[in-house]
Structure 1
Amino acid sequence: MEYMALYLFLTVCLVLLIGFPVAFSLAGTALAFAGIGMLAGHFDASFLHAVPNRLFGIISNTTLMAVPLFIFMGVMLEKSKVAENLLDAMALVMGKTKAGMGIAVTLVGMLLAASTGIVGATVVTMGLLALPTMLKRGYSPQYSAGIIAATGSLGQIIPPSIALVLLGDVLSSSYQQAQLNMGIFSPETISIADLFAGAVIPGIILVVLYILYSVLLAFIKPEQVPSLLDEDIDYIKSRKSVGVFSALVPPLLLIICVLGSILFGLATPTEASGVGAFGASLLALWQKQLTVINLQDVMRQTLKITAMVFMILIGASIFSLVFRGFGGEELIAGFFEQLPGGKVAAVLVVMLVMFLLGFILDFIEITFVVVPIVAPILLMMGVDPVWLGIMIAVNLQTSFLTPPFGFALFYLRGVADKSILTSDIYKGVIPFIVMQLLLLILMSVYPQVVTWLPDMLYK
């Protein structure tokens, strides 16, 4: 009967590859297998009786209330020309140096990641704003595409990230499940603030690596990363954008208020997301972008993204119940126990599987479908939950950049000029994939890179 769980997982992957909507693929396939299992006498219908409780748990989960508010914050900032003003300001500061535009794109991408937390939006925005300018001024297509795709995907890891919010909720449930499986009854959970704190240092390391690569390229191949000309600087000034100080300070204040209040325990993630949504609206009002049309567009996009996330969560909840009903957890646990190498090998296999799944599934599906299956088993083996969460986030970020199926590459290909070949995009991201793999190795060898800040703040 356990192998029915494996067939269920493979069938879901096949259905998704055919192109069916994720949420309905998960729920529909699971219910179909449950029906077949009940007819054959191999599935206990009591697992389906738990579905209403799961749905009520989703509805009453105050942590998940942060999701629509953070999405609203990100979409509002996207519509308020924050990225355009930031890019102009950074270009004025860094443009006269070699690789200055590349460094500016990296810093703006970091700020946008900390402001919006939405990977696709950042890649598309930077691709539309920065890519044409970089190509016009002689930057190589490979470098330009690579730096934009890599910095755009920073929203996966730099808090307050939507991915970390969802991952934190799932890991918290997995941690409680692992403790119950071990006969431990403890109110202790994994908070989203723990994951946010754990992601700070790895996120900074990635940004520093990207900047160092740009500086190194300026010394080795300066013709690929030239400085801006005086006429370019004059043109930026003539566009009547806000000044450097005015462009940088409001987004930084918003990030400090939202992220700082969470890290230092002044507000829960849900409360901070409300502050962020309100602050983004004030910022849009200050930029004179809070029009009725823009507000309607922001609310419509927020509703669409939120509905998608929660429908996937509902479908994933049904899938996980049916998977558990077929004994899928026992099958995976037995597989991990037989692996030579114990905990290290188990983590390595999980990371490899998630990396490959990142080619065909978005982080939302992987978070809701795969993590609840494997996380309780890994946590029972003694893996630190915060470290595991950040490893998963960086791993998925790497898979989103990896040719030929990386999501960030598709986003960039959709907005890039036809003069940029797909092969240019693929070649451009390779150095950044190497840097992210180095970060994964660093976190594996020195877990303190992830755990030091959460331990200092909360223990």
Structure 2
Amino acid sequence: MPEFMAIGLFICLCLTLMAGYPVAFTLGGLSLLFAGAGVLLGVFDPSFFGALPSRLFGTMNNATLLAVPLFVFMGVMLEKSRVAEDLLESMSRLFGGLRGGLAFSVCLVGALLAASTGIVGATVVTLGLLALPTMLKRGYDPALATGTLAATGTLGQIIPPSIVLVLLGDVLSNAYQQAQLRMGIFSPKTVTVGDLFMGSLLPGLLLVVLYLAYLALVAWRQPGKLPAMSKQERGELHMGKLFAALLPPLLLILTVLGSILWGIATPTEAAAVGAVGATLLAIAKRQLTFRRLREVTTATTDISAMVFMILIGASIFSLVFRGFGGEDMIHGLFNQLPGGVFTATLLVMLVIFLLGFILDFIEITFVVVPIVGPVLLMMGLDPIWLGVMIALNLQTSFLTPPFGFALFYLRGVTPPSVPTSAIYRGVLPFIAIQLLMLIIVAIWPGLVTWLPGLL
């Protein structure tokens, strides 16, 4: 009976979220309703709620999660300070003479924005507004142009500093500790956000290389889809202007990531440096006004409040789910699967991929990962590898029609002359590339674990 309550809780949660109810209050409210029904039926022990105050206090007192509002502030400030516009203009002049040069520029600028902002929606919308009109005007195939923009915009999921990796780092750290306690292992070793940043760096860069290789192949085989720009169209290239556009964001990225990778600063401290650096960059570009500062702080407050409210609701959900014996049920199910840890991992990845159609990455990170994470880690999976695989998986689901969130973001800034079917066709090759990347990381986990082990 308790297991049926756990299954019913999860199903009802997915249905209510699909219906459009607020995530944070749905998580907490629905869990409390099921817990109350469980107490009346005698299948839920109310003493479980004794752990709730310490959980909530620990969540709000978590220094790692303080990196979330700081990285959000950094990303929104860079978005408002014309960094993307200057980068795209300079890159277009550098590569525009090549077939596909504008697409290469979009891909490289998207990778730099991913390493600067870590916010998928902002990157997709910014690139769509800046690059899509130019690409269509220059005769680019609409499907290929929109596919490149959508795929490039999702690089913020996997290239650090990523908000997804910050949240996954905290959740997987708790899951790793739970797995160790259940196995009777008492070790000070844990999983940090810095570990995930280091583990995702090589797969993220390799994914950018695969994108560029695909665009180069299309430019070679089907040059009409990616025409070159004339010298008059791209204008004269000034190396000083190129360095002025490229150097400040690169220095900011190297400062933030380098301080984390070399152990000089924690992710939270590096995020604070990034927030200050983004503000100084906006001042240097004369883009910082009181109105813009108010817009940045308002957006940061909105996003951060949403994340923490969802986290509080998810804490209540996971406590009630565990009280119904849901975690033990999943552990028993995974152990009975033929193929052991391989089949269990494949099943979890498939479920996360499908849930990515209807749920945002925050809900999946806070709801699904705490349920399956401890079980998979008890089966011997490396937590850093698991975190990077989940991030890559979520990035793929963000692109997959018909419900991929990146497609919705891009559709909002795409001219009516470009049909939605063209966007769907355009992202299919990039989905194949990302699935290939998942297979590569699954076959060669050293791509993820080598750099954290080295540093």
Native 8 Å contact 1:127 1:412 kept in 2: yes
Aligned to 2:64: 63
Report the counterpart of residue 417 of structure 1 in structure 2.
415
Q: What is residue 342 of structure 1 aligned with on the other side?
A: 340
Structure 2: runs of 5 or more not aligned: none
Counterpart residue number, 2:397:
399
Question: Residues 67-216 of structure 1 correspond to what in structure 2 (within 5 A)?
Answer: 67-216=68-217
Q: 1:135-183: CA deviations, max 9, x gaps?
A: 0000000100000000000000000001000000000000000000001
State how far apart, in whole Å, the 2-side matches of 1:47 and 1:225 are. Answer: 60
Q: Residue in 2 aligned with 1:387?
A: 385
Q: What letter matches 2:98 in structure 1? A: T
**Identity across matched positions, percent:** 65
Match of residue 353 from structure 1? 351
Q: d(CA) in 1 for partners of 2:60 and 2:153?
A: 31
Matches of 1:50 and 1:455, distance apart in 2: 35
Superposed CA offset, 1:340-385 (max 9, x none): 0000000000000000000011111100000000000000000000
Counterpart-to-counterpart distance in 1, 2:135 and 2:30:
46
Q: How does 1:159-308 map to 2 (within 5 A)?
A: 159-234=160-235, 243-308=241-306
What is the CA distance between 1:230 and its match in structure 2?
A: 2.4
The 2-side partners of 1:241 and 1:319 are apart by 55
Q: Distance in 2 between the 1:382 and 1:34 partners? A: 32
Q: How do 1:14-33 and structure 2 match up within 5 A? A: 14-33=15-34
RMSD: 1.1
**CA–CA separation in structure 2 for the residues paired with 1:16 and 1:65:** 27
Q: Give yes or no for the alignment of 1:363 onto 2:361.
A: yes
User: C-alpha separation between the residues in 1 aligned to 2:55 and 2:265?
Assistant: 27
Alignment partner, residue 324 of structure 1: 322
Aligned-residue offset at 1:241: 12
**Count of residue pairs brought into register by the alignment:** 454
How far apart, CA to CA, are the structure 2 residues paired with 1:191 and 1:162?
Answer: 14
Distance in 1, matches of 2:143 and 2:123, equals 19
Which of structure 1's runs of 4+ aligned residues deviate more than 4 A?
Answer: none
Question: Which secondary structure does the structure 2 equivalent of 1:382 belong to?
Answer: coil
Letter in 2 for 1:305: I
1:332, distance to aligned residue in structure 2 (A) = 0.5
- In 2, are the aligned partners of 1:85 and 1:242 still within 8 Å (CA)? no
- Give the Cα separation in 2 of the matches to 1:340 and 1:187: 33
> In structure 1, what is the Cα distance between the partners aligned to 2:452 and 2:239?
39
Using the alignment, how far apart are the partners of 2:269 and 2:414 within structure 1?
38
Q: Distance in 2 between matches of 1:242 and 1:135?
A: 28
Contact 1:88–1:241 (CA<8 Å) still a contact in 2?
no
TM-score by length of 1: 0.98
Instruction: Confirm or deny: 8 A CA contact 1:72 1:298 kept in the other structure.
Output: yes
Q: Secondary structure of 1:50's match?
A: helix
The answer as to 2:58 corresponding to 1:54 is no
Per-residue CA deviations over 1:294-343 (Å, capped at 9, x if unaligned) read: 00000000000000000000000000000000000011011101100000
Displacement of 1:231 in angstroms is 2.8
Cα drift, residue 431 of structure 1? 0.5
Letter in 2 for 1:432: F
What secondary structure sits across from 2:412 in the alignment? helix
Deviations 1:10-49 (A, max 9, x none): 0000000111011111111100000100111110111122
Q: What residue identity is the alignment partner of 1:210?
A: Y
Structure 1, 42-51 or 92-101: larger mean CA deviation: 42-51
Instruction: Tell me by how many angstroms 1:242 deviates.
Output: 8.0
Mapped to 2, the partners of 1:241 and 1:308 lie a distance apart of 42
CA 65–114 in structure 1, closer or farther in 2 if over 3 Å, else same: same
Q: What's the counterpart of residue 425 of structure 2? A: 427
Asked if the contact 1:178/1:377 (under 8 Å) is kept, the reply is yes
| Letter paired with 2:291 | I
Offset of residue 445 of structure 1 = 0.9
Question: SS in structure 2 opposite 1:20?
Answer: coil
Provide, for residues 236-255 of structure 1, a one-character-per-residue CA deviation record: whole Å limited to 9, x for no partner.
87xx9981010000000000
The one-letter amino acid paired with 1:316 is A
Query: Structure 1 residues 454, 374: closer, same or farther in 2, change over 3 A?
Result: same
Letter in 2 for 1:120: G
Partner in structure 2 of residue 444 of structure 1: 442
